[in-house]
């Protein structure tokens, strides 16, 4: 690893590229680093005037464009906390995020803002359309100089689904995000002549890092909201893309596409997140892109990214998570609290400066996941106890074993079963609901929903799918709905989820 550069406030990332070098390719044209710096400074100036309170939260709910790409740096420069909202979420999830974060400002596309209902936006939160914000910032012309914020100050809150309940906000400091950018730029070997196609949502930790790590290296970002895999292929070819990050379901679709040799040849590196690559998929990627280095990775929002597998080891160890990324310490801890022996299963514990500051206004859940580092840690302090079970081989390579929680991971999205269950029950059509994830070749996991209809309801079977389409984003929609006269009850008096999961797997295997 190269020597660590001084940790700066996040907005200083705009200062790293050569003035005339391309920094951001938008539909409207390309921004050089000099223009990027000007636009960030003006947006920060507008934000400071509009929301003068230091540490106030401002949310964005829009597709990839100038505003969503510049806001992480502009908000940091203005002393504010950015809350990026996944564009795929619908009004109920957005309302929760706005209320939980106490956002003072929501900037979004007109179509999205109009879907919000009375009561979705709390008093004191102003709603503005992104085009108006950009126009006002340029008209004001009040450029704010680079900030001198403490790198430990809060810079962003990223909302991620938990295994129970609604999305929780992970608090990230300037230092967390700066070091995350430096770490990824380092181990990927990013350079000023690299062109990154940003297809992952900017509300995801690694999605946002597509911007930050590329700018840390002085490279160029091409943000893309795609409808079809073919859109990704065309963008790679059009922009001579060198770096592409995706989740396994998209990689499956891309390997099935007909790639012109010239398009495939520009790619230098492929990075994977949001789920493990299968052995078959690794082989297909290596065959389709033989010149590209393939980086399988593992991470969690609470600590950004934890491990990556060196591309030189992918062919021999296609199922490995690899080793710790720069600035991270990853330990495998057994049930006795000691470092597990080689080959022994234990919990993955992430230590070091990439560990987030906890969950926003949620001391109980913070205490569950953010706990003192194991005694063996060279960093000490607070660590993230992931709940994921892994093992380490004699060469130090890590292998994923399983999860303790009930999270469903579908198409790169971490889905809370309870959020789906709550939405079903909230319709008034059902009395009990259980959401489970089932292995799926294309999605990673598909959502299956077990339900018991509410007494006296006649049209629950036909009406519920329509209501769920209204209330949940597409990636949370159940693949299959199973109606039950009664739910199995376990010895603790609760619904026996294990029994339902076993029943489901037996049925699928039949």
- CB burial of residue 163 (10 Å; 0-12, 13-18, 19+): middle
Encoded tokens for 510: 């039949």
DSSP characters for 71-135?
A: HHHHHHHTT-EEEE--TT--HHHHHHHHHHHT-SEEEE-HHHHTTPPTTSS-TT-EEEEHHHHHH
Beta bridge partners of 333: 339, 347
Q: Do 1-15+33-178 and 408-509 show the same overall fold? A: no
DSSP characters for 160-171?
A: E--SSSS-EEEE
d(CA 42, CA 181): 23
d(CA 260, CA 50): 48
d(CA 220, CA 214): 6
d(CA 167, CA 362): 11
d(CA 104, CA 50): 10
d(CA 167, CA 29): 35
d(CA 140, CA 229): 40
pLDDT digits (tens, 9 = 90+) for 81-133: 999 999 988 888 899 999 999 999 999 999 999 899 888 998 899 999 999 99
Strand bridging mode 243-246 / 195-198: parallel
Strand bridging mode 413-415 / 81-84: unpaired
**Is-contact 160 170, C-beta < 8 A?**
yes
**Is-contact 235 261, C-beta < 8 A?**
no
Residues 6+ apart with CB under 8 A from 480: 446, 448, 449
Residue of 307, 332, 326 lying closest to 394 (CA atoms)? 332
Dihedral angle sign, alpha carbons of residues 336, 340, 346, 352: positive
pLDDT tens digits for the chain (510 residues)? 445 668 999 999 999 999 999 999 999 999 999 999 999 999 999 999 999 999 999 999 999 999 999 999 999 999 999 999 999 888 888 999 999 999 999 999 999 998 998 889 988 999 999 999 999 999 999 999 999 999 999 999 999 865 455 789 999 999 999 999 999 999 999 999 999 999 999 999 999 999 999 999 999 999 999 988 999 999 999 999 999 999 888 898 899 899 987 888 999 999 998 778 888 889 999 999 999 999 999 998 999 899 999 999 999 999 899 999 999 999 999 999 999 999 999 999 999 999 999 999 999 999 999 999 999 999 999 999 999 989 999 999 999 887 666 778 898 888 888 889 889 988 999 988 999 999 888 899 999 999 989 888 888 999 999 999 999 999 999 999 999 998 888 655 678 888 898 888 887 766
CA dist 209 → 133, 179, 183, 368 (Å): 24, 10, 10, 26
Beta bridge partners of 414: 409
| Cα angle value 437/414/67 (rounded, 5°) | 150
Q: Which fold has domain 1-15+33-178?
A: Rossmann fold (3.40.50)
How many Å separate Cα 395 from the centre of its chain? 30
What letter does residue 211 receive in the DSSP assignment?
H
Quick one: which H or E segment has residue 69? helix 66-77
pLDDT digits (tens, 9 = 90+) for 300-321: 899 989 999 999 999 999 989 9
Give residue for tokens 């310490």: 329
d(CA 340, CA 470): 47
Ranges of each domain in the chain: 1-15+33-178, 226-402, 408-509
Encoded tokens for 2: 């190269």
- In the chain the first and final C-alpha atoms are separated, in Å, by 51
- CB burial of residue 26 (10 Å; 0-12, 13-18, 19+): middle
Kindly compute the dihedral angle of the four CA atoms of residues 126, 127, 129, 133, in this order, to the nearest 10 degrees.
10
Residues 6+ apart with CB under 8 A from 462: none
3 state SS of 35? helix
d(CA 209, CA 184): 8
Give residue for tokens 């008093």: 123
Residue of 299, 275, 271 lying closest to 355 (CA atoms)? 299
Encoded tokens for 281: 């998929």
Give residue for tokens 């006649």: 458
Which CATH number does 226-402 carry?
A: 3.40.50.12780
Which CATH number does 408-509 carry?
A: 3.30.300.30
What are the strands, taking DSSP E only, across 224-292?
243-246, 269-272
Residue of 495, 494, 505 lying closest to 445 (CA atoms)? 505
pTM: 0.87
**Is-contact 203 82, C-beta < 8 A?**
no
**Is-contact 429 463, C-beta < 8 A?**
yes
Beta bridge partners of 329: 351
d(CA 329, CA 306): 8
Give residue for tokens 């073919």: 230
CA dist 325 → 144, 214, 379 (Å): 34, 17, 15
């Amino acid at each position: 690893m190269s020597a660590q550069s001084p940790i700066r406030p996040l907005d200083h990332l705009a200062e790293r590229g050569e003035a005339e070098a391309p920094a951001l390719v938008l539909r409207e044209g390309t921004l050089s680093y000099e223009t990027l710096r000007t636009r960030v400074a003006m947006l920060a100036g507008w934000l400071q005037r509009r929301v003068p309170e230091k540490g106030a939260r401002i949310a964005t709910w829009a597709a990839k464009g100038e505003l969503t790409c510049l806001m992480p740096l502009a908000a940091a420069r203005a002393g504010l906390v950015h809350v990026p909202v996944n564009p795929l979420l619908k009004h109920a999830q957005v309302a929760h995020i706005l209320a939980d974060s106490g956002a003072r400002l929501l900037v979004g596309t007109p179509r999205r803002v109009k879907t919000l209902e009375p009561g979705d936006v709390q008093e004191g939160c102003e709603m503005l359309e992104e085009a108006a914000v950009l126009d006002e910032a340029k008209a004001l012309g009040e450029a704010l100089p680079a900030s001198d914020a403490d790198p430990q100050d809060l810079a962003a809150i990223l909302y991620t689904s938990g295994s129970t309940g609604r999305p929780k906000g992970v608090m990230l400091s300037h230092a967390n995000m700066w070091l995350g950018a430096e770490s990824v730029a380092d181990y990927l070997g990013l350079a000023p002549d690299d062109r990154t196609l940003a297809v992952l949502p900017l509300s995801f930790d690694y999605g946002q890092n597509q911007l930050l790590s590329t700018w840390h290296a002085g490279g160029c970002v091409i943000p893309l909201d795609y409808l079809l895999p073919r859109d990704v292929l065309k963008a790679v070819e059009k922009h001579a893309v060198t770096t592409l990050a995706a989740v396994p379901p998209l990689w499956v679709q891309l390997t099935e596409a007909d790639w012109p040799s010239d398009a495939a040849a520009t790619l230098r590196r492929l990075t994977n997140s949001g789920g493990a690559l299968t052995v078959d998929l690794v082989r297909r990627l290596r065959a389709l892109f033989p010149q590209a280095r393939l980086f399988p990775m593992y991470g969690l929002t609470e600590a950004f990214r934890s491990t990556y597998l060196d591309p030189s080891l992918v062919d021999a160890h296609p199922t490995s998570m690899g080793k710790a990324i720069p600035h991270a310490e990853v330990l495998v801890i057994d049930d006795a609290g000691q470092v597990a022996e080689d080959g022994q299963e234990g919990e993955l514990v992430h230590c070091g400066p990439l560990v987030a500051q906890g969950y926003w206004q949620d001391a109980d859940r913070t205490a569950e996941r953010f706990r003192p580092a194991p005694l063996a840690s060279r960093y000490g302090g607070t660590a993230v106890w992931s709940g994921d079970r892994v093992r380490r081989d004699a060469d130090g390579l890590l292998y994923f074993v399983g999860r303790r929680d009930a999270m469903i991971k579908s198409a790169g999205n971490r889905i809370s079963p309870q959020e789906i269950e709550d939405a079903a029950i909230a319709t008034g059509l059902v009395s009990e609901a259980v959401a489970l994830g089932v292995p799926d070749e294309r999605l990673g996991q598909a959502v299956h929903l077990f339900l018991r209809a509410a007494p006296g309801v006649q049209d629950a079977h036909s009406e519920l799918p329509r209501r769920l389409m209204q209330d949940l984003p597409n990636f949370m929609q159940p693949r299959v709905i199973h109606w039950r006269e009664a739910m199995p009850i376990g010895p603790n008096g609760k619904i026996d989820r294990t029994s339902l999961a076993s029943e489901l797997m037996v049925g699928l295997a039949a």
